[in-house]
Chains A and B, each alone.
Chain A
């Protein structure tokens, strides 16, 4: 599954970040790398950003970009 499919309250673990170029680089620069745990705080319908807790801080990521992150659910 990808981060896009995660639900509010899920904690997921990043398996891999797909894609390439600036967007991928940006996502990874902000700490979404292999093995990191992500807590999904808020997801709003209709193209709104995802609000996540990663590495102890809050981040909002566009749904479209969340598609690039493969994850597995851990809780």
Chain B
């Protein structure tokens, strides 16, 4: 029989760290609250009988936030055999407040005081004996990060899971305890188990709607309970849930020795925060830090390695090496092309960016783990809040910088429905790891890396954030999204030296999933692209016109039948080749009335043929759409953009397999090295509809077909508008080119600012009405 053990504790108390250490799994750990949003299960490494459940962090077990509901329902419905209550040792009071709620469940429990390494360093004294005696359960000191004491906790949990809960539960004032007993007497008659009585009575006392509806008590009992509550409220002069909370905290204060050293003085964290979260300096500092990150990852160090990989490793060694190897084995030309140019060219183009990506993520996870990113969330909170959005919206965005899918899922912690919708709609704007190669390609190939490249890359990041903020402002003005910001209290975790283990693991995880995708989805897509590019359904051939009198070729076409001897003859201007010494005819003059064969139906394109490939035909159709954005001038970049739906890496992968000189040639071949086209391409691909996986996540979270389409439409529409504005304005200002689309761009630009600056309480219907009125007047 298996034993179920639940990990419960405050957000950011180290539950997932402990979970990973005990189960050997790889769940996401981050130094800000609210990382885990769903429960995760795993088996303990050294005892497969034991199933550990990592629950989302909660401050309390009220029924108001999604995390709290998940945690609470788990404890009630699944009834685990034991609880490990993780307590942040640097923050005893608030953490033990939750502990007092857990005691009510009557489930055997062990308390793990975590962060002991920090506690000892700061010289905080924790009186374990007193805690253990007071609460009536075992208290163990651990450091989840260092791995100290973690086995002891697990063993203790397993041990107690077999017995009954033994701890103390009556912690309230006599008035409240009396009221609870009265309530218990009132509901006891029914079917309720002894174990659950305590918890139910507390919840009923708090007038917890969920529990009340769950229990279906008769009206008489309900009014009797109400009378009990009213009496206690009168006596204690507060409402019932206020009483419970206050008394829990009072109890906790009484059992914790209040000798927190250095409480009020400025800690190092405070001093850093003074500067880093300063109203004026915060954003410039953030921009500077991001710029340095991108400069190292994309502009310099990362670029050197990527250049080496693209130019030398793939360009000079692997592709030519494999080509000659395969040719040496006598493998057919088309297969060699498929493998070397198609598959390796495409996958290589993506893999070439792995070093840049790894460095980027190494740096980002350093920032994340030391606590800086939660400051950014804090700063962004201010910005977001000013526009009526919840600051919690930023956390999904932080996560989305790794991958949009968990980012979109993290929006679940936002209580307010409308804010949630907006967050889901905009999280995909943040450049995720799969978009990194696009950024890397534009920054290092088109812009030549260095400071310029780093500026482009940093710009891409801020365009993502900008798109989120602007969307927030605009969408909030529509009726469907209006509403007050959700109540939100956020804590700033202390800075700490990043743990190499976390940093390397999260970097490695991201890198690995990237490489895995390159080996599967990208490989497949690259092969398909190569086939699409080398297959035609109709070969158009030019007739060869040869002057009948002189025998000279007037126009030598490229009919695909021209091979071998005939080609050589034409090369000699259609004259017979004569050995000068002997006067013998070495080669006859060409046949004059030669008619090239025509090819219809699906067939491989042969060398020297002008036929259009299937891919080109599709691409040309698509590129009409992208012409106004500049990069549509080459059909290849349009194809690449569309393939981004499969996976965003494939944008670069596709360019790599289509370009003759591999990814290095792509910037000249498809973009003519134009910065403007590059930027427009980058913006569109950053902001447009995300990959299928993320679309799936959007659909899941929105739980509505209509809203999913609205999201995709909004993202793609915005991407198109911003790219169009950028490209057309760029052309106008740099070359003075003015055309139909310049006008469209100006209109869009004005409309965008109108929506941005227009006062709130705005409805689309009214806008249409207004427009209509104006028109009918005119």
Contact = CB atoms under 8 A, between A and B. Distances in A.
Contacts of B264: 39, 53
Interface in B226-269: 238-239, 241-242, 245-246, 249-250, 260, 263-264
B59 A29 contact: yes
A17 to B, nearest CB: 6
A8 B555 CA distance: 87
Given A34-B246, A39-B264, A56-B93, 20 more contacts: A24-B242, A25-B60, A25-B64, A26-B62, A30-B94, A31-B93, A31-B97, A31-B249, A33-B249, A34-B238, A41-B270, A49-B490, A56-B91, A57-B91, A58-B492, A59-B490, A59-B491, A60-B378, A60-B492, A62-B489
Contacts of A51: 492
Given A22-B64, A31-B249, A34-B246, A55 B487 contact: no
B271 interface: no
A27 to B, nearest CB: 7
Given A33-B249, A56-B93, A57-B94, A20 B487 contact: no
Interface residues of A, number: 35
B489 A27 contact: yes
Contact of A65 (B90, B93, B263, B487): B487
Interface of B: 59-60, 62, 64, 90-94, 97, 238-239, 241-242, 245-246, 249-250, 260, 263-264, 270, 279, 378, 381-382, 385-386, 415, 485, 487-492
Given A29-B97, A36-B249, A53-B264, A60 B491 contact: yes
A27 B92 CA distance: 18
A5 interface: no
B382 A49 contact: yes
Closest 5 pairs (CB-CB, A-B): A29-B60, A55-B93, A23-B487, A22-B64, A28-B245
Contacts, number: 96
A23 B416 CA distance: 12
Interface of A: 16-17, 20, 22-31, 33-36, 39, 41, 44, 46-49, 51, 53, 55-62, 65
A67 B14 CA distance: 33
A12 to B, nearest CB: 13
Contact of A44 (B250, B279, B415, B491): B279
Contacts of A65: 487, 489
A62 B94 contact: no
Contacts of A35: 246, 250
A48 B383 CA distance: 9
Contacts of B263: 53, 56
Contacts of B250: 33, 35
10 contacts: A25-B245, A28-B241, A30-B489, A33-B249, A44-B382, A48-B385, A49-B490, A60-B378, A60-B381, A62-B489
